[in-house]
Amino acid sequence: MINHPHHQLAAVTRYCAERGISLDVREDGWLLVLGNATKRHLIFGYDLGLNSAVAHRIACDKAATATLLTASGVPAVPHAFFLGPAMRGVSEPEWASILELLEAYPNGLVVKPNEGTSGRAVTRVHTAAELKDALTLIFDTGASVAIAPLLEIADEVRVILLDGVPLIVYRKQRPVVTGNGIHSMRELALRAVPVQQQSQLLRRLAAEFDASTLHAIIPQGEQRLLSWRHNLEFGAQPVLLRDGELRETCTALAQEAARVINIRYASVDVVLADGQWRVLEINSGVKMEALGEHAPELVETASFAALDAIFAPRVLGSAPGAPDISQ
């Protein structure tokens, strides 16, 4: 399962074996206790324990991250924060302030849990009714909400950083089908994936497209995106960026964002919208399970670098300019 830290656990297990570090695996791999003669260290979920509590909390809070980055002059996608009514001790959300966002961004909004991950419960809305439905769904879980403008995102790149050094840089390439004038989007999409993945694909398509769109014949040569999301968990493919201007631009922006919130180990998502690159979010828990399905060796190498920063910091920083494993 992608939600289970399978690739991370494999990397940590091999690291400990090679470095002579004890490893106690608890809670099916979600809680790890590492130790040697001089150090005991805990890993919880995808948090390797390199970041301060403050940096971790800011990165987990989409609205706080956007506010801080913008105030520091770093281009970022704005996120408005709204606390659930139960947390405020009232019966209704702040509908007046929330609905004003629809007027401010007439192209639509994206509603998401303020501290959610992997694109879960993220919804596009264009009307007041859709907005209220999306908010109710999240508020019913007790979560707070972040609301961002719906942008036409042309590209999205993830930069995984350790102490400002890019370990992995990759583009999130959304799945697409090309029409042949004979088959529908649904038929073309099903033909592009193995049989064991088809039921999951159908659920994703049904959640994003109406029946008329799915069953319409796509003209010869025309392309259709199968998801508006860039998440690997929703079918996007990682395309490594090894050099070039795109990589340099995204890395520089990610480094500045990480510096602003003072975070050591993080993945930074940057997006291209309206001709400008800006930060979408920062993740303190560096989740690489979906990437590991495509490039497990990169996940292991990045994990080794992060663990060396814990158990052998002088080794990692002994040479000027730590190596970039995506080269």
How confident is residue 236, by pLDDT bands cut at 50, 70 and 90?
confident
Using alpha carbons, select from 290, 307, 226, 277 the residue that is nearest to residue 4.
290
Last residue of a domain, one of 184, 209, 226: 226
Task: Say yes or no to pLDDT of 35 above 90.
Answer: yes
Span 176-184, mean pLDDT? Answer: 86
How many angstroms from the chain centroid is the CA of residue 62?
11
Average pLDDT over residues 83-103: 82
Which among 109-123, 185-199, 248-262, 285-299 has the top mean pLDDT?
A: 248-262
Instruction: Verify that 214 and 307 share a domain, yes or no.
Output: no
Q: Which residue has the higher pLDDT, 168 or 230?
A: 168
Residue 317 has pLDDT above 70, yes or no: no
User: Same domain for 138 and 218?
Assistant: no
Q: For position 98, which CATH number holds?
A: 3.30.1490.20
Give the closest residue to 253 by CA, choosing from 281, 232, 231, 291: 281
312 and 238 in a common domain: yes
13 is a domain residue: no
Using DSSP's 3-state secondary structure scheme, residue 33 falls into: strand
What pLDDT is attached to residue 247? 96
- Tell me which residue range forms the domain holding 112: 78-150
Q: Please answer whether residues 315 and 231 qualify as being in contact, where contact means their C-beta atoms are separated by less than 8 angstroms.
A: no
159-173 per-position pLDDT tens digit:
999 999 999 999 988
- Structure-token match 């979906």, residue found: 290
Please tell me whether residues 266 and 165 are part of one structural domain: yes
Q: 86 and 65, same structural domain? A: no
Domain count, the chain: 3
Q: Are residues 129 and 270 in the same domain?
A: no
Q: Are residues 261 and 324 in the same domain?
A: yes
CB 266 within 8 A of CB 260: no
* CATH assignment of the domain containing 242: 3.30.470.20
| Domain boundary residue, one of 150, 165, 184 | 150
Same domain? For 158 and 269 the reply is yes
Range of lowest pLDDT (63-72, 112-121, 293-302): 112-121
